[in-house]
Amino acid sequence: MRNAESAIGSPGLGYKHSPRVCDRPARRRAPFIPHSSFRIQHSRRRAFTLVELMVVVVILGILATIVTVSVNDYLVKGKQTAAKAEIARISEALNLFYLDHDRYPDNDEGLAALKQTTPQHPQGILQGDLLDPWGRLYVYVYPGVHGVFDLLSLGADGQEGGTGADTDVVSWEESKP
């Protein structure tokens, strides 16, 4: 027993007192609350009210609407830009057809003439479907009203004229932004 006491109480180990004796006062316990009313009040303070949740849902709905409208505008502009690029590509193919045949395709031949094989173009001048970004055929008119030929996409609505997404994309205005 002496060895144990000397080891515990020795000043070399850093203990001033034996582990059974402590200078600190005993910890006080919280008073016993027989009902769980404290827990209910505590949880009510941390929870969101129905009004707060509804406000958050409304704000998220507004943000989702704004994002959807913005993305839709970019998609429309992207389709119109793609149609302009495709009209420029088809116009170049029509000019190449003219160089090969000394004429442009007439209205009966239409743009299908660009797909026909020739000795100069064994796979045709253009391959693939000639559809605008909205899935419709491009309109080709020869002789054109605005140029040698008129080439246009009727936009999202498929009708002549229109504004916004329904704006026609035409060959005679391809240089305009």
Of the chain, the percentage scoring pLDDT greater than 70 comes to 73
Q: Give the tokens for residue 30.
A: 């919280």
Q: Which two tokens stand for residue 21?
A: 């004796």
Q: Could you report the per-residue pLDDT of 83-120, keeping only the tens digit for each? A: 999 999 999 999 999 988 899 999 898 888 888 888 88
Nearest to 170 by CA among 101, 83, 104: 83
Residue 177 has a pLDDT of 41
Distance, CA of 17 to CA of 157 (rounded, Å): 92
Kindly report, residue by residue over 129-166, the tens digit of the pLDDT: 889 999 999 999 988 888 899 999 988 888 888 887 78
- Which residue segments constitute the domains of the chain, with CATH numbers given? 51-173 (3.30.700.10)
Band of the pLDDT at 125, cuts 50, 70, 90?
confident
- Which residue type is seen at 124? G
- How far apart CA 109 and CA 103 sit, in angstroms, is 12
Place of tokens 């004229």: 161
d(CA 108, CA 61): 52
Q: Give the Cα separation of 84 and 79 in Å (integer).
A: 9
